[in-house]
Each structure stands twice: as C-alpha cells, then as structure tokens.
Amino acid sequence: MATREDYSGGKEAAAEDFERILAEHGAAIARVAASYARTAGDRDDLYQEIAVALWQALPSFRGECSERTFVFRVAHNRAISYLARRRIHDPLPENERDRGPDPETEYLRGQRSEALLRAVRRLPIAYRQVVTLVLEGLEYAEAAEVLGISENNVGVRMNRGRQMLRKLLEEHR
C-alpha cells in the first residue's frame, strides 16, 4: 500500500506517480466518467476534471486506504460535482436529454454495452455509484469505503440497482 511519503518526493516524483496512476487506473476512470456523462465531449471533460482532481489530491493521500480506493473516491466525488453543475445549467429533464446512443460509442462498444451504460445513467445516483464501482470490480467493502457507507448498505443498494437495471434493460428491448 502506498503511503503519504510515497507521494511527497518533490514535483518530479509527483509527476511520475500521477502518470503511473493514470496509466494503471485510466481506463476505469474513463468508465466512471462514461457512467455520469452522456456525450463523448462531456465524458472527456469529466475525465480531465477527475485527472486534475487526482493531481490536486495526491499530495494529501495519507495511505489510510488503498490507492485504488483513493482514485475511485476522487473520481466519484468529482462526478457528483459534475452532475450537480449539470443540473443547474441544463434545463432539460433527464429523459429528454437521453435521445439515444452516441453513434461513435455504439460503434466502439457495441449495442449491449451502450444499452447497459444508458440504463446505468438512468439509475438514481445512490444506486448508480454502487453499480459502477461493483462493475469496476470493487468488493462491497471497498465500495463502502469509497462511498462512506456501510458494506450492508452497499449490498442493499446493489440488489436494488440490479432490479432497476433489469427493468430498464427490459424496457429497452
């Protein structure tokens, strides 16, 4: 497990740590961004916001959790901030904004992946967070640590989220 001392070796070492973290966790960060942002441009913007937030937060990493948990915590906190800003600036209701898959994404990820992603985006935020983390391979205990809730609460939210996803995916057919 990395500790605070591991990230306090000066600007050059910090840059190397940051690059390594993005290399190791970049794909997962991109998937987190995709679960909160609808368009390719918005996903790129959110990814960049998460990267900046990680750069800023890295010096304060105390090693009290795994680096992976730290990365997901920063990513999800930034994504929640993104959603809050979008609600303020986007007057259209969510169901009117979601007009269908981005053709580029549909081509790259396939129709099933896009349907799942759209369904995940439609979940209430409490369930979306848990489902996204579990889909990224986090154990319930890790997801609980990222979100600051109990492991039992993660399990309950995951079960309810799965039920909602099934219903949303059935409606899509």
Q: 54-112: per-residue pLDDT in tens?
A: 999 998 888 888 999 999 999 999 988 888 887 655 544 444 444 555 455 445 446 67
- Per-residue model confidence (pLDDT) at position 106: 43
Full residue range of the structural domain in which residue 110 is found: 4-172
Q: 98-125: per-residue pLDDT in tens?
A: 455 545 544 544 667 778 888 999 999 9
* Residue that wins the pLDDT comparison between 109 and 38: 38
pTM: 0.64
How far is residue 6 from each of residues 9, 13, 18, 68, 104, measured CA to CA in Å? 7, 9, 12, 15, 40
Count of structural domains within the chain: 1
CA distance 90 to 58: 31
